[in-house]
């Protein structure tokens, strides 16, 4: 083989780094449904699990039947990025038995799943003072360059090739975390 042919072969073998899927963020959400002591306990649990201080989420409207008033804090959430997100996801997948239904994935590569009891997460101990709560885990996947949509200056739309599809998201989760999608 000539030198030029060797260069062409080596160029073709390298995957395009702009098509690599990565985790944008992981949001851990706990909805208690009322403010006060139950919400404070949930905030302590989320802080212990994630290592980040969660923020409050307020009710959007009044629902008399549930005793909820508009503007009352009823939930908390923590957003994780980078290595913290990956570390938490490994534990969260273990809590659900490393299985996720395919209906959990949306057409844009995001997926969500629930954890019924936080004590199912490995390394978590039961504290009778705090009780047991369930939570939702929402994961946003993206490719490099996707921030063009969100940046402040020179915001622009992102092409279809740069968006994560459902199939790419499923393949990423299987490859990176060893999760079975059923």
pLDDT tens track for 90-138: 999 999 999 999 999 999 989 999 999 999 999 888 989 999 999 999 9
Q: Which two tokens stand for residue 22?
A: 């990565």
- For 10, 25, 68, 76, 136, the CA distances from 115, given in Å and listed in that order, are 45, 18, 24, 15, 6
Number of domains in the chain: 1
60 falls within a domain: yes
Which domain covers residue 36, as residue numbers?
A: 17-181
Asked whether the predicted pLDDT for residue 88 surpasses 70, the reply is yes
Contact assessment for residue 136 and residue 112, using Cβ atoms and an 8 Å cutoff: yes
Would residue 51 count as lying in a domain? yes
Q: What percent of the chain has pLDDT over 70?
A: 93
Note the pTM of the prediction, 2 decimals: 0.84
Which residue in this structure is represented by tokens 């459902």? Answer: 166
Residue 21 has pLDDT above 80, yes or no: yes
Q: What pLDDT, on a 0 to 100 scale, did the predictor assign at position 6?
A: 57
- How many other CB atoms are found less than 10 A from the CB of residue 161? 10
């Amino acid at each position: 083989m000539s030198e030029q042919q060797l260069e062409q072969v080596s160029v073709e073998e390298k995957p395009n780094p702009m098509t690599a899927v990565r985790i944008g963020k992981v949001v851990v959400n706990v909805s208690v449904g009322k403010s006060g002591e139950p919400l404070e306990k949930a905030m302590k649990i989320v802080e212990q699990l994630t290592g980040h201080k969660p923020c409050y989420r307020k009710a959007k409207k009044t629902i008399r039947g549930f005793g909820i008033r508009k503007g009352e804090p009823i939930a908390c959430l923590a957003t994780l990025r980078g290595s913290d997100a990956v570390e938490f996801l490994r534990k969260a997948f273990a809590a659900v038995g490393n299985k996720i239904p395919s209906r959990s994935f949306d057409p844009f590569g995001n997926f969500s799943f629930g954890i019924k009891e936080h004590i199912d997460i490995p390394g978590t101990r039961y504290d009778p003072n705090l009780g047991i709560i369930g939570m939702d885990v929402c994961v946003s996947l993206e490719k490099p360059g996707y921030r063009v949509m969100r940046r402040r200056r020179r915001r622009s739309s992102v092409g279809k090739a740069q968006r994560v599809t459902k199939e790419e998201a499923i393949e990423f989760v299987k490859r990176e975390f060893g999760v079975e999608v059923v």
